[in-house]
């Protein structure tokens, strides 16, 4: 660490010391004084530098004016992220924040000469915990974060061959999008259990409560989207600890624009239930030929409630989310 950075460190860490900008070695070396905070610059200027009481009107820190005044000083305190005009530079040791203190009176006559003084605050790029401390500041705002599932349910985007898709993928409108819902590893020894998908909906945000939202599976395992297009369906398989399904790609109308791309998020409620399906735990597709609902691995009668309201099994699963993209081409 260079000596200049080490010296500035005492200033940057909220010390009540003042760094003086020398005025050419004159006796009035403390006419202009600077205190560097971690997020703002504090400047005070002696009043007796000026001959007129209204000189503060023409004194500026970059583009920012005097904040306050007392008997002996004018004060300028401004955040480094303000629009005053702070400039940021850096080298291998320091981050340097600089700005110019100006006095340019625009009166018809002058009783005080204009001046410009360049001010700097130097902050070390590296901090050592045994030398200094810092006080963190908590900023408000909302951050949505996918929480790890204690029951280890997983919802994974796949291709039609059953291979997992890593990251995001682009789809053309109407192209099938495949997903696999997997249960916890404890299902291996659980015996007569099966994974059920209670509900799935799609949003343009990681927030499952965001709007707009489009539901594809509802009513405790009814693929309601299959009544609109047969491309939407639960996929039959031999393994009961996973459940695959497919939905054709789309975009939200209200969010559409020419040659637009929408990033979509699938949110699902996954449940481990009995091996034999019930009206509360099932995987039902609508058959457009017979105009009836059909269950993948059990009697179709459990799907009769898909046209009304199916009873809830009070699932122990939680919401799982994965990311996909749908692209309009044409």
Domain containing residue 294:
154-327
- Contact, 8 vs 122, CB < 8 A? yes
Query: Is there a domain that residue 147 lies in?
Result: no
CATH no. for residue 75? Answer: 2.60.40.3210
| Whole-number pLDDT of residue 19 | 39
Same domain assignment for residues 85 and 172: no
Which domain-ending residue is among 124, 141, 164?
124
Q: Which of 232, 208, 162 is nearest to 321 (CA)?
A: 208
| Whole-number pLDDT of residue 27 | 42
Same domain assignment for residues 20 and 71: yes
**C-alpha–C-alpha distance, residues 20 and 290, integer Å:** 88
Angle at 281 between CA 276 and CA 283, to 5 degrees: 90
Query: Is there a domain that residue 53 lies in?
Result: yes
Same domain assignment for residues 110 and 220: no
- What is the number of domains present in the chain? 2
Query: Is there a domain that residue 21 lies in?
Result: yes
Angle at 303 between CA 297 and CA 308, to 5 degrees: 160
Same domain assignment for residues 197 and 239: yes
| Whole-number pLDDT of residue 53 | 82
| Whole-number pLDDT of residue 135 | 59
Rg (C-alpha) for the chain, rounded Å, is 33
State which residues of the chain have pLDDT below 50. Answer: 1-3, 6-28, 147, 149, 317, 328-330
pTM: 0.52
Same domain assignment for residues 242 and 96: no
Query: Is there a domain that residue 144 lies in?
Result: no
Same domain assignment for residues 120 and 161: no
Q: Which distant-in-sequence residues (6+ apart) come within 8 Å of 190 by Cβ?
A: 272
- Contact, 282 vs 220, CB < 8 A? yes
- 24-65 confidence digits (pLDDT tens): 333 445 789 999 988 899 999 999 889 888 889 999 999 999
Give whole-number Cα distances, 172 to 177, 180, 209, 259, 326, in Å: 10, 20, 26, 12, 6
Tokens of 105: 């009176």
Same domain assignment for residues 194 and 86: no
Same domain assignment for residues 181 and 68: no
**C-alpha–C-alpha distance, residues 13 and 37, integer Å:** 7
**Three-class SS of the chain:** CCHHHHHHHHHHCCCCCCEECCCCCCCCCCCEEEEECCCEEEEEEEHHHCCCCCHHHHEEECCEECCEECCCEEEEEEECCCCCCCEEEECCCEEEEEEEEEECCCCCCCCCCCEEEEEEEEEECCCCCCCCCCCCCCCCCCCCCCCCCCCCCEEEEECCCCCECCCCCCCECCCEEEEEEECCHHHHHCCCEEEEEEEEEEECCCCCCCCCEEEEEECCCECHHHHCCCCCEEECCCCCCEEEEEEECCCCHHHCCCCCEEEEEEEEEEEEEECCCECCECCEEEECCCCEEEECCCCHHHHHHHHCCCCCCCCCCCEEEEEEEEECCC
| 154-158: strand order across its sheet | 154-158, 176-182, 242-248, 233-235
Same domain assignment for residues 72 and 170: no
CATH no. for residue 303? Answer: 2.60.40.4100
Same domain assignment for residues 109 and 35: yes
Q: Which of 184, 203, 206 is nearest to 195 (CA)?
A: 184
**C-alpha–C-alpha distance, residues 47 and 141, integer Å:** 42
| Whole-number pLDDT of residue 25 | 37
Query: Is there a domain that residue 136 lies in?
Result: no
Query: Is there a domain that residue 269 lies in?
Result: yes
Same domain assignment for residues 113 and 190: no
Same domain assignment for residues 163 and 66: no
């Amino acid at each position: 660490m260079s000596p200049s950075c080490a010296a500035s460190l005492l200033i940057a860490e909220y010390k009540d010391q003042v760094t003086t900008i020398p005025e050419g070695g004159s006796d009035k070396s403390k006419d202009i004084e600077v205190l560097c905070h971690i997020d703002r610059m504090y400047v005070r200027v002696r009043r007796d530098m000026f001959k007129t009481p209204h000189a503060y009107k023409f004194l500026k820190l970059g583009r920012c004016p005097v904040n306050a005044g007392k008997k002996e000083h004018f004060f300028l305190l401004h955040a480094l992220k303000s629009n005053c005009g702070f400039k940021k530079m850096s080298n291998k040791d320091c981050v340097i924040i600089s700005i110019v203190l100006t006095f340019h009176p625009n009166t018809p006559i002058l009783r005080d000469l204009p001046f410009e003084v360049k001010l700097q605050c130097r902050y070390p790029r590296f901090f050592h915990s045994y030398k200094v401390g810092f006080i963190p500041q908590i900023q408000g705002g909302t951050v949505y974060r996918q929480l790890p599932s204690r029951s280890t349910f997983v919802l994974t985007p796949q291709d039609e061959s059953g291979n997992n898709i890593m990251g995001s993928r682009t789809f053309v409108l109407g192209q099938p999008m495949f997903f696999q819902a997997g249960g916890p590893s404890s299902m291996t020894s659980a015996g007569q259990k099966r994974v059920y998908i209670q509900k799935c909906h799609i949003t343009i945000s990681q927030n499952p409560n965001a709007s707009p939202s489009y539901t594809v599976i509802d009513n405790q395992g009814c693929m309601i989207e299959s009544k609109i297009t047969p491309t939407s369906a639960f996929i039959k398989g031999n393994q009961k600890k996973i459940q695959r399904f497919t939905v054709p790609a789309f975009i939200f109308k209200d969010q559409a624009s020419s040659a637009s791309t929408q990033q979509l998020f699938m949110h699902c409620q996954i449940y481990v239930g009995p091996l034999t399906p019930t009206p509360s735990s099932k995987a039902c597709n609508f058959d457009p030929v017979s105009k009836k609902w059909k269950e993948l691995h059990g009697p179709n009668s459990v799907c009769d409630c898909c046209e009304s309201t199916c009873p809830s099994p009070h699932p122990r699963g939680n919401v799982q989310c994965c990311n996909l993209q749908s692209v309009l081409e044409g």
